[in-house]
Amino acid sequence: MGISVYELLTDELFSGTEVAAGREGLFRVIQSVSVFDCPYHEDILNSGIISEGDIFLSCLEQFQPGSESLVDFLNFLDRHGCAGLIVIPTGNLAVIDDWIKGLCDEKKFPVLLLGRSVPYSAVMKRINRYLAMGTANTTNSLKLEQLKLGHLTQKEQVTLLRELLPGISDYVRTMYVQGSFHSKIAALDMQRKYLSLKADLLVVGKQFVFLLSAPREKELKNKSDAVCADLKNYFSSFHVGFSRIYPAEEVARTLTEGEKALQTAVAMHISQQTYEPMRSLHLLLALHNSQEAQDFYHAYVAAIADHVSKEGLPEMLRTVEAFVANAGDYGETARQIGQHVNTVRYRLNRVKNALGMEEDQVRFYETIALAAQLHTLLQE
C-alpha cells in the first residue's frame, strides 16, 4: 500500500524538514526504507539491493562537492523508481549544490533535509509504522470481507474477530462512511487517530468501515455518535450508515446492515442513516435496477401525465414527493412547496383519480410512497 513522500512530511517527526529539491516528486510512494552511507560504486547498487519504492537515509559523507558519483547515484535511484532521499542535518549538505538541485527538480526526485537531528532508527521506525499500517489495513479488509460473507461458523467468526481486534468489548456496531476529505492531510490524520485504538477498528478503502465496541449498549451508542460528530473534522461532505447494536459474536450482521444503511443514505442524499429492517427502501435498493421497478415508476408517471398538462406534470409529481417526504403532513407539504394546503389536497386528489385509486386509500399511499422513493433511486 505504501505512503507518499508528501504524506510522510505531515508527520510530527518530520516537522521543519526542507524539500531541498524535487518538490514535484512528492507524490512518489514509499514501500521500504534503507540506509546508504557506504562509498558509492554502481556495482553495489547493481547487486539487487535496491527495489522500487525505496527511500534512502544518508549523511552523504561519501560524496565530494561537484563529484560525478553523486550524480550517478541519484540517476541510479531515479532510474529504479526509488521514492527519494532523506539527508540528516549534520551530514555533508555542501554536496547538494544548485547543479544537484536542478538535476533532482528535472527528474522530480525528492531530496529531503531533516529539520532536526533524529536517530536513523527513529526515522526508520516511523516510516515502517506507516508501511505496517498499510499492510494491516489490507489484511483487515480481507478479514472483514470473510466475516461479511457469512460462510463461517459462529465460533470461526469469534476467532477471526479476536484476530482483528484483540481488545474488542461485549457489544459491536459498524459505521460505513463515504465522502470527500478536506485534504490528504486530513485523511492521514483520521487514520493516525483511529488505527491506533484498542477496542475499535478502522478499515480504509473506497468506503471507510468503523467497527466500534463497548461493554454496554448505551455506551456504544454514545461512542458511535461521538465518532460521527468527529468526522466533520476530516470530511468536507460525507454519508454515514449505522448498523444496529449486537453482541460481538453477531458481528457479521453489523457489517451487512452498516453497508445497506450507507447505500440508503447515499441514494436518498441524506447525511446519515441507521439500518431499519422495516424500511421499504432497503428492499427497493435491491430491486431498483430491475425492469419491474422501472416499469412500475414509468406506469405511475404515465397515468398521471394522461390527466394533467405537460407543463403541470412536474409540479404534480413534486407535490406528491413532498407529501411522502413529510409523512403525509399537508401543512408541512404546503410550506415546503410554497402553496396553500387546499392546493396540496386538490393535487393529491387529482393524482388519486388519475391512478384509479379513489376507493383504495391504502393502495394509493403505498403506490405514491414507492414511486417517490423510486424517483430518487432511478434518478428520473
- Residue 228: the pLDDT is 95
Residues 315-341 have a mean pLDDT of 92
Give the pLDDT band of residue 42 (cuts 50, 70, 90). Answer: low
Q: Which pLDDT tens digit goes with each residue over 269-310? A: 889 999 988 777 767 777 777 888 888 889 999 999 999 898
- Residue 151: the pLDDT is 80
pLDDT at 320 over 90: yes
Write down the domain spans for the chain.
Answer: 3-118, 132-276, 285-378
CATH 3.90.1150.10 fits 3-118, yes or no: no
* Cβ-based burial of 30 (10 A; exposed 0-12, middle 13-18, buried ≥19): buried
- Is pTM beyond 0.85? Reply is no
Kindly state which CATH superfamily the domain 285-378 is placed in.
PucR C-terminal helix-turn-helix domain (1.10.10.2840)
> If we measure between CA atoms, which residue out of 43, 37, 50, 39 comes closest to residue 78?
50
For the domain covering 132-276, report its CATH number. Answer: 3.30.70
pLDDT at 18 over 80: yes
Amino acid at 54: D
Separation of alpha carbons 373 and 362, rounded Å: 17
